[in-house]
Each structure stands twice: as C-alpha cells, then as structure tokens.
Amino acid sequence: MAANAPIVLNDGTTPTPVAHTFSGVSVDKNVAIYTNRAETFVVGRETLTLRRKSTPRVRTCIANIQVPRIITEVLNGVSVKRVADYLQGEIKFIVPATWETTDIAPRLALLSNLISNPVFQVLVKDDEFVW
C-alpha cells in the first residue's frame, strides 16, 4: 500500500521550476484528496485527487489536478481575493489484471513523454490542433 505522504510535483516555471507540495486532506475508501497549503487563500488552493477502482478483471487509476487562477479585486477600497476559474487535468489508466508490473512501468513513461511532446504541448497551450 502506498504511503499517505506529501506528494511534491515540480511545475514548468523557467528558469527554475517551482515545487508544489500536496499534503493529505482525506482518504475515504478509494479516493485520496491532497491540497497545496502554500496558498493562504483556502478556496484558492491547488488540489490533487487520486482514485482507484478495482474489479477482478481491471483496475482503473485516475489522477486529477485542479489549479485555480486567483485574482484580486478592489471592493469598497479593500483588496479581496477570489477564484476566477480553474485549469484541470486528468490522467486515467485502465489496467487489465493480467498485466505484470514490468509491462506497466514502461507505459507510465510513455504517458509522461506524451505530455511533454511538442504536438500535445501546443494543443494544450495554444489551442493548435493537428492538421
């Protein structure tokens, strides 16, 4: 069983990536919720959710990250933070129970490399679709 420990993910900030530390909030059956407590504005914190569903034939693993965009407005002369919107990403693996760990590990790297592929990058960043 995986440890309920903080999960640290680096972003793509240049020249130095920023580490985002997600600390556990709750674990309920097959759902673990984490939040990045670096943000003092509670409703503006990044969240990470891990889900697992398993049957005798297949295991489904889902990771979801939600990143709010916080803006500051001036209301009656007072600066007030609010969440304008969210960027959300989801990774989903459906793994047949017949697969060995040694078969799964290279496919995790495959997905990681897809996310950093230039075609996928411009699709997400610039809304530029393939021709």
87 falls within a domain: yes
Domain around 56: 7-99
Question: Do residues 84 and 106 share a domain?
Answer: no
Q: Tell me, yes or no, whether 29 lies in a domain.
A: yes
pLDDT band (50, 70, 90) for residue 130: confident
Closest CA to 34 of 46, 50, 52, 22: 22
In this structure, the answer to whether residues 92 and 80 fall within a common structural domain is yes
CA dist 120 → 10, 69, 91, 131 (Å): 19, 22, 14, 13
pLDDT digits (tens, 9 = 90+) for 79-112: 999 999 999 999 999 999 999 999 999 999 999 8
pLDDT at residue 63 greater than cutoff 70: yes
Q: What is the pLDDT of residue 1?
A: 62
